[in-house]
Amino acid sequence: SQQGEEDPQALSIQEGENATMNCSYKTSINNLQWYRQNSGRGLVHLILIRSNEREKHSGRLRVTLDTSKKSSSLLITASRAADTASYFCATENSGNTPLVFGKGTRLSVIA
Amino acid sequence: DAGVIQSPRHEVTEMGQEVTLRCKPISGHDYLFWYRQTMMRGLELLIYFNNNVPIDDSGMPEDRFSAKMPNASFSTLKIQPSEPRDSAVYFCASRGAGNQPQHFGDGTRLSIL
């Protein structure tokens, strides 16, 4: 069953703009992770944020986590056409349990 | 390092046939996961193993599905007999212990006619 739910389902922006995707979940978590999936490929891990962390950066990626609202956001700054992909959030509810994935946000970056 | 390797990449077969999907996890990873991805249901966890032992197979849709992990470097997912509704992309993923990210293979695109 899905725990994370991404919003929006699809997003289309111009190259150079920022892209923000949101994720909401239902139960307490150990950590939350974001993944990217290019067409025809497997998911690739982008960033992991632990439940006691509020913000994390990796290059052009910024992830926030609000455990009181059970939500997370992924911000991609200065987007590029190569960022076009589906983005998934996944939650790990406790140590060593499987990740539960949302249905993803399809991001299109138009050059 | 080689990532998670799945084979075949594509499989087209007729309903009723047996289908075997294969996965080689990343060396040293303790956990192996099988997922199915469809437009309607998204990414569903079918089964996962820890140290070659099946831990949770509650996501396996029917008895027609079975999975094995005879050793740390190989796992199979078998569908017998296959049905058109089994058509999907099947992913294998592995990870180490603790707060580690999962590494996915590129999937097997399965079409049952």
pLDDT of residue B99: 79
Answer whether residue A1 shows pLDDT above 90.
Answer: no
Give tens-digit pLDDT for B9-42: 999 999 999 999 999 999 999 999 999 999 888 9
pLDDT of residue B15: 96
Q: Are B56 and A48 in contact (CB < 8 Å)?
A: no
Q: By the CB < 8 Å criterion, does B42 face chain A?
A: yes
pLDDT of residue B98: 80
Q: By the CB < 8 Å criterion, does B71 face chain A?
A: no
Q: By the CB < 8 Å criterion, does A52 face chain B?
A: no
Instruction: Provide mean pLDDT across the span B51-76.
Output: 95
Give the separation between CA A109 and CA A7, rounded to whole angstroms.
17
Instruction: Provide mean pLDDT across the span A58-68.
Output: 97
Of B112, B85, B81, B108, the C-alpha closest to B18 is: B81
Q: By the CB < 8 Å criterion, does B113 face chain A?
A: no
Instruction: Provide mean pLDDT across the span B60-66.
Output: 93
- DSSP-derived letter for residue A97 is P
Q: State the distance between the two ends of chain B, measured CA to CA, in whole angstroms.
A: 36
Residue B78 CB-density burial (10 A; 0-12 exposed, 13-18 middle, 19+ buried) = middle
Closest Cβ opposite residue A48 in set B42, B91, B101: B101
pLDDT of residue B80: 97
Instruction: Provide mean pLDDT across the span B39-54.
Output: 94
Q: Are A42 and B97 in contact (CB < 8 Å)?
A: no
pLDDT of residue B97: 85
Answer whether residue A95 shows pLDDT above 70.
Answer: no
Radius of gyration of chain A (CA): 13
